[in-house]
Structure 1
Amino acid sequence: MQPVTLHVMDEGKRQLSASERFDWLRLIRSENVGPRTFSRLLERFGSAGAALAALPDLARKGGARRPLKICPKADAEREMEATERFGACLLGLAEPGYPSWLAALDDAPPLLCVFGNPSVLAKPMVAMVGARNASLNGRNFARRLGADLGRAGFCVASGMARGVDTAAHQGALATGTVAVLAGGVDVVYPPENADLWREIAGGGAVVSEMAVGTQPQASHFPRRNRIISGLSLGVVVVEANARSGSLITARFAADQGREVFAVPGSPMDPRAAGPNDLIRHGATLTESVTDVTDVLGDMLRRPLAEGKRADFRGPQPAEPDTSEMDRARAAVVEALGPAPVTVDDMYRCLLEMPKKPRKSATFSILRIAA
Structure 2
Amino acid sequence: MTSDLVARLRLIRTPGVGPVTARQLLARFGSPERAIEALPDLARRGGGRPVLVASAAQAERELGAVETFGGRWLVLGQGLYPRPLAEQEDAPPLLIARGNLNLMDRPLIAIVGARNASAAACRFARGLAHELGREGATVVSGLARGIDTAAHDGAFETGTVGVVAGGLDVFYPPENEERQRAMFENGLVLAEMPLGTEPRARHFPYRNRIIAGMSLGTVVVEAAPRSGSLITARMAAEAGREVMAVPGSPLDPRAQGCNQLIRDGATLVQNARDVLESVRGIGGMVRSPADRFDHRPEPPAEPDDADRRTVEELLGPSPVPVDEIVRQSGLAPGAVQLVLLELDLAGRLDRHAGGKVSLAG
2:245 to 247, 251, 262: 262
Contact 1:131 1:164 in 2 (8 A): yes
1:160 deviates by 0.5
Give the structure 1 partner of residue 169 of structure 2.
Answer: 186
Give the structure 1 partner of residue 195 of structure 2.
Answer: 212
Aligned length: 345
Seen in structure 2, the aligned counterparts of structure 1 residues 243 and 311 have a Cα distance that, compared at 3 Å, is closer
Alignment partners' CA distance in 2, 1:121 and 1:24: 23
Contact 1:240 1:275 in 2 (8 A): yes
Give the structure 2 partner of residue 102 of structure 1.
Answer: 85
Seen in structure 2, the aligned counterparts of structure 1 residues 29 and 279 have a Cα distance that, compared at 3 Å, is same
RMSD: 2.0
In the TM superposition, what are the counterparts of 1:152-301 in structure 2 within 5 Å?
152-300=135-283
Alignment partners' CA distance in 1, 2:242 and 2:256: 19
Seen in structure 2, the aligned counterparts of structure 1 residues 26 and 350 have a Cα distance that, compared at 3 Å, is farther
Seen in structure 2, the aligned counterparts of structure 1 residues 361 and 129 have a Cα distance that, compared at 3 Å, is closer
1:41 to 25, 35, 47: 25
Please state if 1:355 is matched with 2:355.
no
Alignment partners' CA distance in 1, 2:324 and 2:59: 32
1:306 deviates by 4.7
Give the structure 2 partner of residue 149 of structure 1.
Answer: 132
1:303 deviates by 6.9
Seen in structure 2, the aligned counterparts of structure 1 residues 113 and 133 have a Cα distance that, compared at 3 Å, is same
Query: TM-score by structure 2 length?
Result: 0.90
Contact 2:87 2:286 in 1 (8 A): no
Secondary structure of 2:280's aligned partner: helix
1:218-267 per-position Cα deviation (integer Å, ceiling 9, x unaligned): 00000100000001000000111112110000000111101011111111
Seen in structure 2, the aligned counterparts of structure 1 residues 348 and 193 have a Cα distance that, compared at 3 Å, is farther
Query: TM-score by structure 1 length?
Result: 0.88
1:35 deviates by 1.1
Contact 1:126 1:154 in 2 (8 A): yes
1:51-108 per-position Cα deviation (integer Å, ceiling 9, x unaligned): 10110111111111x3112112222122111111101011101211111000011111
Contact 2:241 2:282 in 1 (8 A): no
Secondary structure of 1:308's aligned partner: helix
Alignment partners' CA distance in 1, 2:175 and 2:9: 31
Say which is worse superposed, 318-327 or 75-84, in terms of deviation.
318-327
Alignment partners' CA distance in 2, 1:88 and 1:232: 22
1:169-216 per-position Cα deviation (integer Å, ceiling 9, x unaligned): 000011111000000111110000111102222122100111111110
Contact 2:87 2:287 in 1 (8 A): no
Q: Gaps spanning 5+ residues in structure 1: where?
A: 1-16
Please state if 1:367 is matched with 2:344.
yes
